[in-house]
Amino acid sequence: MNDKYWVALSSIEQINSDFILKLYNHFQDIEKAFYATYNDLTQIENLSKKKAENFLNLRDKIDIDKIYNYVIQNDIKVVTFENEKYPFMLKQIDNPPAVLYIKGDLESCNLNKTLAVVGSRKASFNGKESLKIILKDLINTDICIVSGLASGIDTTAHHTAIENNLKTIGVIASGFNYTYPESNRALYKSIENGAGAIISEYYPTFEPLKFRFPERNRIVTGLSYGTIVAEAGLKSGALISANLTLEQGRELMCIPGLISNPNTQGIYKLIKNGATIVTESNDILNALNWEIKQPQQQKLNLTEQTDDEQKILSSIEIEPKGFDLIQNETNISTEDLLMNLTTLELKGIIKQVEGDRYQKI
């Protein structure tokens, strides 16, 4: 089985996917690449002797089976670059990830209709509401929403997808040992437990370091046929994603916003340079030449609720409430309350609103 060699190489923090694929493309066999000698490595074009020596020193410290078993024991799936299940669109970009670590069900997501959503972490209320209005019109379709599981626009995109029975893929900038931001822990669980998949190119122990976020962006856009930018300052990660979208030859779309908002300066710059303006879902469908249809997946039962779910719905019947207040009124344990809130969100019966409160839809 070749997967363990891919995983072993990707567990070396000092090398990246570009280096791993350079080895693979030269040897055309990942096991041979892993066990390459110094003389073998010096035959690779543009690989310096120093890099070859550093790689060998790092490789010789690896316990392959231990590294691989750690992934399997943590219920993480692996799709490598040479695997037939590796996403086609992602394989077309300049620097594809060598390994995809996955939680959830990537196969339930329609990778032929993937739409990336990027934007500011400090998004305005108007920006988030505009995005919700546009995505809501795609309810119950086979479109899959891809984003980065960060706060702000990313979180809004994932939640809105779940609320409207759309599959969603979250691409994270760390290994699965970390949840970033911590406030999205319940969202992570929602995606893993039926709403789609979470993907990372990083071995589980890799931390969410600053440089990994722009690296992550190329995967968000690379998985997708088009990208919607919903708020972006002139110096923002969202603008990096916009440029990546264009470099990858994908469709770039923008949601216009208030000109008084600094987070729309990047939006209007992109629009002036030719990005498609999106004010309704049909703008997306027209730009990507998509026809939408109902998915074949089994629908969640929206009518039956457990006793705990009924208690929660009764608690928020009149007005939105935060987690602590709901718990005080229902006396449901923390673990069970998190699980029930997630389930109700998946059913599209409740949603999170400003201030991390829950509201009945």
CATH number, domain with residue 60: 1.10.150
Structural domains of the chain, count: 3
Is 87 within the bounds of a domain? Answer: no
Is 343 within the bounds of a domain? Answer: yes
CATH number, domain with residue 269: 3.40.50.450
Is 120 within the bounds of a domain? Answer: yes
State residue 296's pLDDT score. Answer: 45
Per-residue pLDDT at 356 exceeds 60: yes
Distance of CA 178 to the CA centre of its chain: 14
Confidence of residue 293 (pLDDT cuts 50, 70, 90): low
Mean pLDDT for 81-91 is 96
Q: Which domain holds residue 254?
A: 104-288
Specify the amino acid at residue 44. I
Q: Locate 345 and state its tokens.
A: 């969100």
Residue 195 DSSP class: I
Same domain, 193 and 272: yes
pLDDT tens, residue by residue, 186-241: 999 999 999 999 999 999 999 999 999 999 999 999 999 999 999 888 888 888 89
Is 79 within the bounds of a domain? Answer: no
Residue 113 DSSP class: S
From 259, 288, 317, give the residue that closes a domain: 288
Same domain, 142 and 214: yes
**To the nearest whole number, what is the mean pLDDT of the chain?**
91
Same domain, 127 and 272: yes
State residue 1's pLDDT score. Answer: 67
Same domain, 252 and 151: yes
Residue 182 DSSP class: G
How far apart (Å, rounded) are the C-alpha atoms in residues 322 and 310?
Answer: 16
Secondary structure of residue 139 in the 3-state scheme: coil
pLDDT tens, residue by residue, 116-144: 999 999 888 889 999 999 999 999 999 99
Contact present, 117 and 154 (Cβ < 8 Å): yes
Q: Is 136 left (phi over 0), alpha (psi -120 to 50) or beta?
A: alpha
CATH number, domain with residue 312: 1.10.10.10
Backbone angles phi, psi at 349, to 5 degrees: -90, -30
Per-residue pLDDT at 298 exceeds 70: no
Same domain, 168 and 251: yes
How far apart (Å, rounded) are the C-alpha atoms in residues 229 and 153?
Answer: 9
Same domain, 129 and 221: yes
Q: 243-251: long-range contacts at Cβ-Cβ below 8 A with a sequence spacing of 24 or more?
A: 244/217, 244/218, 245/116, 245/221, 247/94, 248/92, 248/93, 248/94, 248/218, 248/221, 248/222, 250/221, 250/224, 250/225, 250/226, 251/225, 251/226, 251/227, 251/276, 251/287, 251/288
Backbone angles phi, psi at 228, to 5 degrees: -100, 130
State residue 33's pLDDT score. Answer: 95
From 50, 73, 96, give the residue that closes a domain: 73
**Per mean pLDDT, which range of 6-10, 134-138, 252-256, 356-360 is the poorest?**
356-360
Same domain, 313 and 281: no
Geometric angle at alpha carbon 159, from 286 and 228, rounded to 5°? 30
pLDDT tens, residue by residue, 308-340: 999 999 999 888 899 889 999 999 998 888 888
Mean pLDDT for 286-299 is 70
Per-residue pLDDT at 98 exceeds 80: yes
State residue 334's pLDDT score. Answer: 87
Per-residue pLDDT at 299 exceeds 90: no
Is 80 within the bounds of a domain? Answer: no
Per-residue pLDDT at 303 exceeds 90: no
Q: Locate 87 and state its tokens.
A: 């996403």
Is 295 within the bounds of a domain? Answer: no
Residue 275 DSSP class: P
Same domain, 117 and 58: no
Report CA-CA distances (Å) from 24 to 85, 203, 359.
18, 18, 50
> Would the pTM count as exceeding 0.85?
no
Is 270 within the bounds of a domain? Answer: yes
Is 141 within the bounds of a domain? Answer: yes
Same domain, 273 and 319: no
From 32, 55, 73, give the residue that closes a domain: 73
Mean pLDDT for 171-187 is 95
- Choose among 145, 89, 87, 90: nearest CA to 116: 145
Same domain, 278 and 338: no
Same domain, 111 and 251: yes
Same domain, 168 and 206: yes
